[in-house]
Amino acid sequence: MRTPIIAGNWKLHMNPTETVEFVKAVKDQLPQNSEVETLICAPAVDLPALLDSAKGSQLHVGAENCYFEDEGAFTGETSPKVLHEMGVDYVIIGHSERRGYFHETDEDINKKAHAIFKNGMKPIICCGESLETREAGNAESFVEDQIKAALKNLTADQVASLVIAYEPIWAIGTGKTATADQAQEMCAAIRQTVADLYDETTAENVRIQYGGSVKPANVKEIMAKKDIDGGLIGGAALKPDSFLALAHYND
Ligand code: 13P
Per residue in 208-243, pLDDT (tens digit) is 999 999 999 999 999 999 999 999 999 999 999 999
- The pLDDT, as a whole number, for residue 173 is 80
Mutate to test the pocket of ligand 1, among 5, 65, 167, 208 (most ligand atoms within 8 A of CB): 167
What is the average pLDDT value for the chain, to the nearest integer? 97
Model confidence at 117, in pLDDT bands (50, 70, 90)? Answer: very high
> Does the beta carbon of 214 lie inside 6 Å of ligand 1?
yes
More confident residue, 177 or 201: 201
- Pick the atom of ligand 1 nearest to 174's CA: 4
Distance 64 CA to ligand 1 centre (A): 12
- Pick the atom of ligand 1 nearest to 96's CA: 8
pLDDT digits (tens, 9 = 90+) for 30-89: 998 779 999 999 999 999 999 999 999 999 999 999 999 999 999 999 999 999 999 999
> Does the beta carbon of 94 lie inside 6 Å of ligand 1?
no
- 174 by DSSP, 3-state: which? coil
Model confidence at 136, in pLDDT bands (50, 70, 90)? Answer: very high
pLDDT digits (tens, 9 = 90+) for 139-169: 999 999 999 999 999 999 999 999 999 999 9
Mutate to test the pocket of ligand 1, among 169, 214, 222, 246 (most ligand atoms within 8 A of CB): 214
- Pick the atom of ligand 1 nearest to 97's CA: 8
- The pLDDT, as a whole number, for residue 244 is 98
> Does the beta carbon of 213 lie inside 6 Å of ligand 1?
yes
Burial of 161 (0-12, 13-18, 19+ CB in 10 A): middle
> Does the beta carbon of 234 lie inside 6 Å of ligand 1?
yes
State the DSSP code for 26: H
Q: Hey, what amino acid is at 211?
A: G
> Does the beta carbon of 211 lie inside 6 Å of ligand 1?
yes
Whether residue 121 is predicted with pLDDT greater than 80 in this model: the reply is yes
> Does the beta carbon of 233 lie inside 6 Å of ligand 1?
yes
More confident residue, 232 or 178: 232
> Does the beta carbon of 128 lie inside 6 Å of ligand 1?
no
By C-alpha distance, which of 28, 1, 9, 32 is closest to 167?
9
Share of the chain above pLDDT 90, in %: 94
State the DSSP code for 239: S
Whether residue 176 is predicted with pLDDT greater than 80 in this model: the reply is no
178 contacts 155 by C-beta, under 8 angstroms:
no
Q: How many CB atoms neighbour CB 74 within 10 A?
A: 12
Measured at the CA of 40, the angle between CA 90 and CA 100, to 5 degrees, comes to 75
Q: Which residues are catalytic?
A: 95, 167
